[in-house]
Structure 1
Amino acid sequence: MTIDELLTTTRSVRKRLDLTRPVPMELVRECLEIALQAPSGGNRQGWHWIVVTDPGLRAQVGDYYRRSVRAYHASGTGAGSLFQDDPVRAATQRRVSDSSAYLGEHMGDVPVQVIACIQASGLPEGNQAGLWGSVLPAAWSYMLAARARGLGTAWTTLHLAYESEIAELLGIPADVRQGVLIPTAYYTGETFKPAPRQPLDEVLHLDRW
């Protein structure tokens, strides 16, 4: 596929993750090697990658994620509650909410869970963008590389409600913070396409707001 096609059709895959097909670790490593080419502040490269494939550990991470997703949906602030005054966007939001709930119940069944982390003794005051900007672009590169190899992924952060518990479970040091949990599996079907987005001119500001 072309670069533009890759960038515009890499979607969050939740319901269409193949939970029964193993993902070779060699393929995950290829994607991570590409991720390591992303920029980082001061070229520190302080990222770390936890790849969880053990069924028991995946199930435990999935349990924490399930709890967080259920609380999120019960709060009434989830994706499904947004844009209720716009019938078209509201329908899209309901689908997003439904697929989010599905992944919440099945995160523990996903064959590979990738947690992108960054080494940080503490969260900086005033410029957290500098910290997270040194790992999140790499995580997106991983997702793009996965898509190019027939793997589906989704950007998820609700596990962070249990960050300390997951850190203890996986032996993550105290000075390493988790940024994103990326479920990774082969996907079913090949109908990915660009998603509806706000028109550029509604969000573009030239020189001044």
Structure 2
Amino acid sequence: MTADSNLNLSTDELLTTTRSVRKRLDFDKPVSREVIMECLDLALQAPTGSNAQGWQWVFVTDPAKKKALADIYRSNANPYLDLPAPERGDIRDEQIGAVMSSAKFLNENFEKAPVLMVPCLEGRPDGAPAGMQASYWGSLLPAAWSFMLALRSRGLGSAWTTLHLLGDGEKQAAEVLGIPFDKYAQAGLFPIAYTKGTDFKPAKRLPAEQLTHWDTW
């Protein structure tokens, strides 16, 4: 990693300012394969069950394939984003307008991201009990989050999206990308780009005291 690509964030800054970035993705600035691989090398240090390392990472830069994936995403996102926003009676209600606006922006512009990523894991958890599901995804999700942290540390951003997986979407995406659908499951679709500015702030979250249980619920 070159010195000028490192934001030199403290651990706390990195953890509290890595956002799901949508409206601030820079669609015009190229993203090199080198920086992607730097971030992936870091992500692959994440824990994985039994050290299986059954993950595979598909990066997409081909415009036609990006458009095909974006269309699959939109086929599921459009009806979802048209649903009325839930009311929860807390600070989340104050943020839902901005969240929905951001989600709709990404939905309309998905294919403009310089790179799209689909993380995959060997095997298929379809119909497995909750314990097996947790074990399965626990071997991939830490690495995917580490990848997002590595992007942030270099001035890039992403958003963890899963809407393309609904219905036949995952299978359609597998056909576009040549992913062996019977052998690998997809965990999401991540747009990757440099961000417009790097001054991200901690998000408003419910206080930990409201979410904490000691010894019993």
Question: Same fold judged by TM-score > 0.5?
Answer: yes
Which of 58, 63, 67 is residue 59 of structure 1 equivalent to? 67
Give the deviation of 1:69 after TM superposition.
1.3
Which of 148, 153, 159 is residue 154 of structure 1 equivalent to? 159
Give the deviation of 1:74 after TM superposition.
2.1
- Give per-residue Cα distances to partners, 1:20-59, cap 9 Å, x unaligned: 1110011001111111111111111111100001111111
Look up the match of 1:170: 177
Give the match's secondary structure for 1:180.
coil
List alignment gaps of at least 5 residues for structure 2: 1-8
- Give per-residue Cα distances to partners, 1:64-95, cap 9 Å, x unaligned: 1122211111233xxxx123644x53231110
Look up the match of 1:141: 146
CA distance in 2 between partners of 1:159 and 1:208 (Å): 37
Q: Taking every aligned residue pair, what percent have the same amino acid on both sides?
A: 48
Give the deviation of 1:191 after TM superposition.
2.5
Look up the match of 1:202: 210
CA distance in 1 between partners of 2:163 and 2:35 (Å): 26
List alignment gaps of at least 5 residues for structure 1: none
Give the match's secondary structure for 1:113.
strand
TM-score w.r.t. the length of structure 2 is 0.90
Matches within 5 A, 1:16-55: 16-55=24-63
Look up the match of 2:19: 11
Q: What amino acid maps onto 2:172 in structure 1?
A: E
CA distance in 2 between partners of 1:95 and 1:27 (Å): 30
Look up the match of 2:5: none
Root-mean-square deviation (CA, aligned residues, Å) is 1.3
